[in-house]
Every structure is written in C-alpha cells, then in structure tokens.
Amino acid sequence: MRKLGANYSGDQCVFTVWAPKKETMQLQLISSETELLEMQKNDEGYFHLTVDNVLPGAQYFFKPEGTEKGIPDPASQFQPDGVHGPSAVVDQHAYQWKTNWSGLPLKDLIFYELHVGTFTKEGTFEAIIPLLDDLAETGINAIELMPVSQFPGNRNWGYDGVFPYAVQNSYGGPEKLKLLVDAAHERGIAVFLDVVFNHLGPEGNYAGEFGPYFTDTYCTPWGNAINFDGAWSDGVREYFAGVISHFYEHYHLDGLRVDAVHMMFDNGAVNFWEMVSVELDQLREKLGRSFYLIAESDLNSPKTVKLPENGGLGFNVQWLDDFHHALYVLLDKEGQSRYEDFGKMEQLAKAYTDGFVHSGEYVKFRNRKHGASSAGLPGETFLVFNQNHDQIGNRVGGERLSMLVNFDRQKLAAAAMLLAPYLPMFFMGEEYGADTPFFYFVSHSEEDLIKMVVEGRRKEFENYKWETDPPNPQEEQTFNNSKLDWEKRKTGRYLVMLNWNKELIKLRKTHPALKNFNKNDVRVTLFGPIGFALHRKSSDQKQELLCIFNLSEKESSFNIPERDGNWNKIIDSTEKIWLETESEEAYSYPQFLNSGDLLVVKGLSIVVYDLTVT
C-alpha cells in the first residue's frame, strides 16, 4: 500500500500527494524561514519529495499548480490548528504500546457507541480512560467511537470531517487516541472507529484542489459523490483504502464502522470493497490482529456481508435498523408516526428469526418494494440496538428512549436486544438509562454555511411536523446540553437499570444458548395482543432458554412448551431488585414451570427460564 502524506522515518520525511492533473507541486515547509521546495511527479500522478532533518511536529502546506497559497495535505495525519491551518508531521512509530493485543472473537462483542466530545466534561480521548473500568465492569468489551477525523471547530458529530487520516486536534490528536486504544486493550475492550467514505464535509474540504476526488455522475444528500469508479478513480480508491490500513496499522484499532455504504457508488468490475478485502487479508496476516468491518447500509441486502468471491462487499457485520424499528413502535405509542411501515408483532418475530423485516415487500416510506431475504445469514453478521446517535440526535428534542417510554419498557428493550441472536450495541449512557438529550451540533466558522445548516435543520424537522424548532446546532449550549451526567449511574433508578443490564450481559456471556448464533435454533411464538416468547437453543441442543415478553400493559397467558424436565427461572423483571422505586409492589414469577403449564404473564414484564435437556 502506497503511503500518502508525510511519512517520517528517523530524521527523514517522505512527502507524497496525488494530483494527476497538475503539472507542478511545491512543498511549503513552515519554519522561521518558510521554504518552497519543488516536488517530482511520477507517471501515476503522484508527487514525491524526500526531505532530511524534518522533525515530528514540523508544519507544512502543499502548493498545487494554480493556487495562490499553500493548502493543507489531503492525507494530513494531524491538523493542530484546525481544518484551515497547516498539516503537521507525525512520527507514527514513536508511541510505545503497552498491550500485546490480538483482538476478541466477533461473537463475544458487546458494543458501546460513544461521542468523544460529550462522553465526558472534558471531551477528550484521555478523559475517557478513567471510565473504561466502569464499562468493563458492566460487561462492555467494544467501544465504537463516532468519527474523530479532523472536522471544523471543536464541536461536531464527526460526519463533517475533511481529513480522513487526521485525528481531531480538540480531542487530543494522534498520541492521545493511541493512549485510549492502549488503555482499552489493557482492560479487554476492543476499539472501533466510525469512518465516513461517502462524502467529505463542506468546510475545509480542499481535496478538489488536488485532484478529481468527486464526481457529478452520482448525487448524495451531501452533494457530489466520491469518485470511486470514474476517470482518475484509481487514486481516489487508493486514498480511501489507505485510511483503513492507516488506522489498523498505526492505531491498533479492532475495526471500522463505515457510514452509509449505500452512498458509495462503484460500478467498476472490481468493487472498492473487493480491493480492500484483498489488502486487509494481507494486513491481518502481517499484523496478527483481528480487524472487522461493520457497514451501515440502507439497502437491506445480504450482499453487504457476503464474501467478494460470492458477489458481496465483504463486510463482517451490518447494522440492522429493522430490528430497532420493529421493536420501538411496539414500545412507544408515538413510534408508528415515525416508522409507518412497522407495528406488527409478526415483523418483530421476523427480525429475530430472519434479520431483515423488509425483504422484498412494498414499503410506503419508499413507494416501492425494498430489500431481500437475510434468513440464511448467521446472527453475528448483524448488529442491533435500541438507540444510536441518529435515532436520538434526529429528534427535535434529542430524546433518548428513557425520555420517551417508562422504566418497565426500558427494561424490556434492553432484554430484547441482549437476548437476541445478534451483536448488541448500547449508545453511551443507555446502560444506566441516561436522560440527558443528545442533539445535533456543529462549530463552523463560515457565516453562510452556518445559516444553511441552521435553516436546513429547521426545514428537516418541518417535514416531521414538529411544533417547535430544534435547538441551534451552532450554539455551544446545544453541545454542552448533550454531555453525559456520569454520576447519575450510581443512585436510584439509574443504578437499577445499570444492574439490570449487567445481569443480562452476564447471562449473554455465560449461557450456551445465547452463544449460539445459528438462526435455525431461534424460534418466536406470539401470544396475547403484543406478547412473544423467544426460544433459543445451544448449538449442541442440550440447553434451552425461554424468554417470555409482554409488551402490553395488560396481563396475558402463555402455554409453556412441552419438554422433558422443569423450566428454571433465571431472570425476572418483576422482582423487587428490578423495580424503579422501593415503594412499588413486586410480583415474582414461579421459580419452576412444568411442560404445558399455563403461565400468566404480567403486563410490561420479561421472565427468562432455562432448561437442560436430558
């Protein structure tokens, strides 16, 4: 893999930039006496220059033919003064890694999505480290950082990044990200990073000054698409493929979550992801560490996680939005207005047994048929959630699930996710039922752009028929209001919710039936108005789990399946320790059940029974 940008080795630095349509390129080293050095171009459109006595931290610009002044390196590894300032040389080999880490099995991962800027008061990589022990104690073993590639200002979700190789300066830059990854690995926690390859942000986007990174052949919600298959696309493909190897090799990451892969258009004979798959296999063998790719895709296509040789994109996992939608509309009576194509119990059952709910049916939201069947895909190829940055941040009040439904429904949601045959993911604070909002926020410096963002956000919510305007994303208070209150998890109902999730995670990690991701061993039986029993079996068929959910406020009844032996209760949401307040009256399900028993299922409750087959 070609190394782009500034690559430091000893006291020598090799500068490389792709600009196929430019005849000349100068390197502008910024020091007490600013130097302009001519770079040499090869036949593939890459300019190179090796410079002696350049130390880490040295700042520079590139000056392409036709530009009046120097501009930052599109493959910059650090922008100490922000998106408009000079790029800085980074010694990627200086950090001394403490942990000899080879990774964790995919099936074992419990994900936790977090935003660096709002996870702590300080909003830095380093400030996260003291909280890792709490996450590990909860059972979390994989954190997924929202994008940290350099974006404008110091407040942003990260999807406005314009330097994919560079680590956000206000979060602590490259060294502090490595410090966080190392500290997480010391505690047995994998680290994933959200990356954006479908567009670059509007402010500080200088890539087009160097080469044809964009194409008007396709259009995205953010403007022209990235040029993955048009003229000159070889350099663009190499640029983004390099981002993957850069973070894998230099930051010891365990994988990437790739934003909106359906907005990456590539009709070439060899798809971008097919190329990446070959390069990753070589890197995995070289580095000896696991590395997974997770896709966000709106296509409901099983091809996303199929191997390239079978016509797929080669991702290991994809987000399963259908699971969220199918469950949410049954928990929140207002949910149907948001997801009009969901609301049937059969859809939730299908989400458990198949994966995609929409697998070729007509969908009103899209005014067409949507999706294909995922019934044959193993469970570990899907990641499910009750909340994520989009589901919360794209509500006018930034409301979390804890602000929309009551405590019992939150417990049901947690159990529905953690007992599913898929990889689960919490959104930061969800494990204790945090009730601080999470808004959309930016900190642009260009006045016209700020006006466009504010107005665009207001019009977006007009379409949802909200009665109030969303908070101004540019105002710092919007950002500050989104910060977690970490102390809440220690008391009251927050502590109860935290312990509830701990208990469910512990069961997930220890019960053989929950370690089996073969969907042939998953059954769902519907009962009552909105009740269902999730039946899981171990891979050797010797242990079974019966998870009985009642999403209705009214009690219902369920016939216990015929089996040899007794069913033994292991989790009961109606017991005293799991109630929101001490003054509530506990119910408590029977400890043992016989085959064929008629069980009265209390409203808004979940009970789990275990059986060892003899």
Q: What positions carry a catalytic annotation?
A: 259, 296
HSE of 129 in the Cβ direction (CA atoms, 13 Å)? 16
Q: What angle do CA 385, 386, 390 make, to 5 degrees?
A: 85
355-388 burial, b for 16+ CB within 10 Å, e for fewer? bbbbbeeebeeeeeebbeebeebebbbbbbbbbb
End-to-end CA distance of the chain: 56
The total number of residues shown for the chain amounts to: 614
Which 3 state secondary structure label does DSSP give 147?
coil
Which 3 state secondary structure label does DSSP give 360?
coil
Give the count of beta carbons closer than 10 Å to the beta carbon of residue 241: 20
Distances (CA, A) of 572 to 41, 438, 463, 509, 601: 69, 31, 41, 18, 11
Which 3 state secondary structure label does DSSP give 260?
coil
The one-letter amino acid at 490: K
Element (H, E) at 593: strand 592-593
Q: What angle do CA 44, 311, 213 make, to 5 degrees?
A: 30
Q: What is the DSSP string of 444-504?
A: ---HHHHHHHHHHHHHHHHTTT-SSPPPPTTSHHHHHTTS--GGGGGSHHHHHHHHHHHHH
Q: What are phi and psi of 511, to 5 degrees?
A: -85, 130
The one-letter amino acid at 227: N
> SS in 3 state form for 489-555?
HHCHHHHHHHHHHHHHHHHHHHCHHHHCCCHHHEEEEEECCCEEEEEEECCCCCEEEEEEEECCCCC
Which 3 state secondary structure label does DSSP give 239?
helix
Element (H, E) at 184: helix 173-186
Q: Alpha-carbon distance 183 to 402, whole Å?
A: 30
Distances (CA, A) of 101 to 108, 130, 251: 16, 20, 12
C-alpha dihedral (141, 145, 146, 148), degrees to nearest 10? -170
Q: Which two tokens mark 333? A: 């009576």
Give the count of beta carbons closer than 10 Å to the beta carbon of residue 40: 10
